[in-house]
Structure 1
Amino acid sequence: MSRILVVDDEETLRVLVARGLAMDGHDCMMAGDGAEALEVLMAEKGRFDLLLTDIRMPLMDGIALALAAKREFPDLTIMLMTGYAEQRERAKSLETIVAEVMAKPFTIAELRETVMRVIERSIG
C-alpha cells in the first residue's frame, strides 16, 4: 500500500502505531525524534506517502520537522499527532502544509481510518 514514516519519541506508541498501520498493508519506517526523521527523509529522498509525526518531541519537534520536510519535499503528505491542546493550536497555522492533526489518545481503528482518509485525499 503506502510507505509511512512514523515519528514519536515514545517507543511504545511508535511501535503500536506502526504495527496498527501495517495491518492495512502499509510499509512503515520509524524515527524517535524530528532530527532522526529528517535524516531518514533525506536518506530515502522523501519517498514516503505520509509523514506521521508527534508534535511534542525533544531535539526537533513535529512542527519544525513538518516545516523542514515540506521545504525539502513539497509533495510529501504530513499528518500530526498530539495530546496537548496548545500544540493543536500551534498546528492550526500549518493547515496549508499539514493534512490532518489527530488528537491523542486515539484507538488503532481511529488511526487506521484517519490515515486511510488522508492518503486517499492526497492521491485524488
Structure 2
Amino acid sequence: MATILLADDDAAVRDLVRRALTSDGHTVHVTQDGLEALEALESGNAKVDILISDVDMPQLDGISLAEKALALKPGLAVVLMSGFSDQLERAARLRARRLLSISKPFTLDQIKQVVKSVLA
C-alpha cells in the first residue's frame, strides 16, 4: 500500500478522497492547500509515494506544487484533480514518469482506480 499526500482546499473532496483511499489500505496525509503540502514534503517526515492535488488552489496551485514536489522527489507519482479540462491540459508540461489526472466530479471507485493505475 502507498503513502499518499493529498492537497485540496475543499474539505468535502479531501474527506471523500481520504475515505476512499484509506478503505483500500493506503495511508493518506491530508493538507488544505499547496503550501501546506509543500511544507510536508520539504520536512521529509513522511515517505510519500503519491501526491494527489487539486489544480485550482489559492497561493500555490496544484501544477506548481507538482513541479516543486518533483524537483524534491523525481520519482514521485502525481495525480491531479480538476473540474476544468483546460487546467489539466497545463499539466502536460510536467516531467513526471507517473502522472495521471482525474476530472471532478468523480466517484470513490474512480479515484481508487486512478491510484491503482499510477502505482502500476
Q: TM-score range by the shorter chain?
A: over 0.9
Distance in 2 separating the partners of 1:45 and 1:67 = 20
The alignment yields a C-alpha RMSD, in angstroms, of 1.3
Secondary structure of the structure 1 residue equivalent to 2:101:
strand
Distance in 2 separating the partners of 1:117 and 1:66 = 18
2:113 counterpart of 1:108: no
Q: Which moved more, 1:84-93 or 1:12-21?
A: 84-93
Secondary structure of the structure 1 residue equivalent to 2:5:
strand
Task: Please list, as runs of the form range in 1=range in 2, the aligned pairs for 1:16-95 lying within 5 A after superposition.
Answer: 16-44=16-44, 47-94=47-94
Q: TM-score, normalised by structure 2?
A: 0.93
**Alpha-carbon deviation of 1:103?**
0.9
Q: TM-score, normalised by structure 1?
A: 0.90
**Alpha-carbon deviation of 1:45?**
5.2
Runs of 4+ in 1 over 3 A off after TM superposition: none
Gaps of 5+ in 2: none
Q: Is the 8 A contact 1:46 1:76 kept in 2?
A: no
How many residues end up aligned between the 2 structures? 119
Deviation track 1:37-74 (CA, whole Å, cap 9, x = no partner) reads 00011123561110000100001000110000001111
Gaps of 5+ in 1: none
Distance in 2 separating the partners of 1:103 and 1:86 = 11
**Alpha-carbon deviation of 1:23?**
0.7
Distance in 1 separating the partners of 2:15 and 2:43 = 21
Q: Is the 8 A contact 1:53 1:62 kept in 2?
A: yes
Distance in 2 separating the partners of 1:89 and 1:77 = 17
Percent identical pairs in the alignment equals 39
